[in-house]
Amino acid sequence: MDEIRVHVEAEINPTEAEEKVKTAVSNLFGNIDVEIKPSQMGSVLTAEARGKEPLDNFRNVLRRDRVRDAARRVFYAGSRGESIFFCLNKQVAFAGHVSFSQETGESPLGPIKVVIECENPREFVVWLTT
């Protein structure tokens, strides 16, 4: 597989602790570099990474939680060109598990939005979900 780029974004509401949102992201993506910037509604956490290494932990959580088939469907549905878009429930991620969600409405605190860019998304999804 060629170059892989991972972008993670989550809004941090004024009622949320920044550290808990950081923990939610690191529970799924390991030791990924995180940046927090102020926004109109609180702040926004963003994280960028390259390569498979940041996704090793995510892959292991998918396997441990036994959601690889569901993940495969979500990833294929979110594939557009050379990118894959999906959302994760922030509260479930804080507990160290994976639960896919919609971009709006499903999670009262808002989702963790993930975009993965790679040259061959189908091959990547097979690697991530096996």
Give all domains of the chain, ordered by start, each with its CATH number: 4-128 (3.30.1440.10)
pLDDT at 105: 65
Mean pLDDT in residue range 4-15 = 95
pLDDT tens, position by position, 72-117: 999 999 999 999 999 999 999 999 999 999 877 666 788 999 999 9
For the beta carbon of residue 32, count every other beta carbon within 10 angstroms.
Answer: 19
**Does the structure show a pLDDT above 70 at 1?**
no
Q: What is the pLDDT of residue 102?
A: 86
Amino acid 54: pLDDT: 84
Question: What pLDDT, in 10s, does the model give residues 21-54?
Answer: 999 999 999 989 999 999 888 899 999 999 998 8
With beta carbons less than 8 A apart as the criterion, state whether 86 and 100 touch. Answer: yes
Token pair of 64, please? 């441990």
Closest-CA residue to 5 (of 49, 47, 46):
49
pLDDT for res 18: 93
* pLDDT of the residue at 46: 97
The closest of 46, 44, 33 to 11, measured between CA atoms, is: 44
The closest of 96, 95, 72, 93 to 84, measured between CA atoms, is 72
